[in-house]
Amino acid sequence: MTERLWWHRSRLLTEGAATGAQPAIRIFGRWARGPLLSLMRLWRRNIQLRVVASTLLLSMAVVLVLGIVVIGQVRNGLLEAKRQTAQSQAAGGFEVARERAIADATESATGQPMDARSWETQIVEQLASGGQGVYAVLAMASNLSSGQFAGEPGAAPRAPRGPEDVRPKETISQDLREAVDADLATHRQYGTIVRTDGSTEEALIIGRRLTDNQGNWYQLYYLFPFTQEEKSLSLVTGTIATAGIFVVVLLGAIAWLVVRQVVTPVRLAARIAERLAAGRLQERMKVSGEDDIARLGESFNKMARSLQVQIQQLEELSRMQRRFVSDVSHELRTPLTTVRMAADVIHESRGEFDPATARSAELLLSQLDRFESLLADLLEISRFDAGAAVLEAELTDLRDVVHRVVEGAEPLAERKGSRLRVRGDARPVAAEVDARRIERVLRNLVVNAIEHGEGRDVVVRLAASRDGGAVAVAVRDYGIGLKPGEAERVFNRFWRADPARARTTGGTGLGLSIAVEDAHLHGGRLEAWGEPGGGAQFRLTLPRSVGEPLRGSPIPLEPHDSLRRRQAAAGAVIPAQQRAVSVAHEGPGEGGHEA
Q: Which of 183-187, 304-308, 457-461, 573-577 has the lowest mean pLDDT?
A: 573-577
Q: Name the domain boundary from 198, 213, 233.
A: 233
pLDDT, tens digit (0-9, with 9 covering 90-100), for 121-149: 777 877 777 655 566 777 777 776 544 33
Contact between 260 and 48 under an 8 Å Cβ cutoff? The reply is: yes
Q: Provide the CATH number for the domain around residue 558.
A: 3.30.565.10
Residues 74 and 39 in one domain: no
3-class DSSP assignment, residue 546: coil
Question: Which residues are CB-neighbours of 581 under 8 A, at least 6 positions away?
Answer: 482, 484, 485, 486, 487, 488, 529, 530, 531
Task: Based on the fold, state whether residues 300 and 428 are members of the same structural domain.
Answer: no
Please provide the DSSP assignment of 364-406 as one string: HHHHHHHHHHHHHHHHHHHHHHHT------EEEEHHHHHHHHH
Claim to verify: residue 34 and residue 94 sit in the same structural domain: no
What torsion do the CA atoms of 80, 174, 139, 163 make, to the nearest 10 degrees? 80
For helices 398-416 and 435-452, angle between their N-to-C axes, nearest 10 degrees: 30
- Lowest mean per-residue pLDDT among 2-6, 73-77, 133-137, 249-253: 2-6
Q: Are residues 97 and 201 in the same domain?
A: yes
Same domain, 92 and 151: yes
Residue type, 485: G
Whether residue 404 sits in one domain with residue 377: no
Annotate 223-288 with three-state secondary structure.
EEECHHHHHHHHHHHHHHHHHHHHHHHHHHHHHHHHHHHHHHHHHHHHHHHHHHHCCCCCCCCCCC
Task: Please state the pTM of the whole predicted model.
Answer: 0.47
- Structure confidence at residue 422 (pLDDT): 92
Residues 399, 380 share a domain: no
**Which residue, 371, 389, 407, sits at the end of a domain?**
389
Residues 324-362 have pLDDT tens digits of: 766 776 677 778 778 878 878 887 887 788 888 888 888
Q: Is residue 99 part of a domain?
A: yes
**Nearest to residue 592, comparing CAs of 526, 515, 531, 493?**
526
Q: Work out the pLDDT band at 475, boundaries 50, 70, 90.
A: very high
Is 259 a domain residue? Answer: no
Q: Is residue 536 part of a domain?
A: yes
Residue 270, domain member (yes or no): no
Here the CATH number for the domain that contains residue 353 is: 1.10.287.130
Q: Which of 26-40, 243-257, 350-364, 483-497 has the lowest mean pLDDT?
A: 26-40
Q: Is the pLDDT of residue 6 over 90?
A: no
Task: Decide if 391 contacts 546 (C-beta within 8 A).
Answer: yes
Q: Are 578 and 563 in contact (CB under 8 A)?
A: yes
The CA distance from 186 to 209, in Å, is 8
Same domain, yes or no: 428 and 447: yes
For residues 447 and 484, state if they share a domain: yes
pLDDT by residue (tens digit) across 377-426? 667 776 666 666 777 888 989 999 999 999 989 989 998 889 999 998 88
Question: What gap in Å lies between CA 503 and CA 366, rounded to an integer?
Answer: 13
- Domain boundary among the residues 340, 374, 389 is at 389
% residues pLDDT > 90 (the chain): 9
**CATH number for the domain that contains residue 226:** 3.30.450
Structural domain count of the chain: 4
Asked if residue 56 belongs to a domain, the reply is: no
Residues 197 and 221 in one domain: yes
Distance CA 221, CA 94 (A): 9
Position with higher pLDDT, 451 vs 567: 451
Residue range of the domain that includes 462: 393-594
Please tell me whether residues 385 and 397 are part of one structural domain.
no
Taking the C-alpha atoms of residue 405 and residue 437, their distance in angstroms, rounded to an integer, is: 12
- Going 264 to 266 to 269 to 270, the CA torsion angle's sign is negative
Based on the domain organization, do 97 and 109 belong to the same domain?
Answer: yes
Range 440-459 average pLDDT: 89
Helix axes 292-348, 227-277, angle to 10 degrees: 30
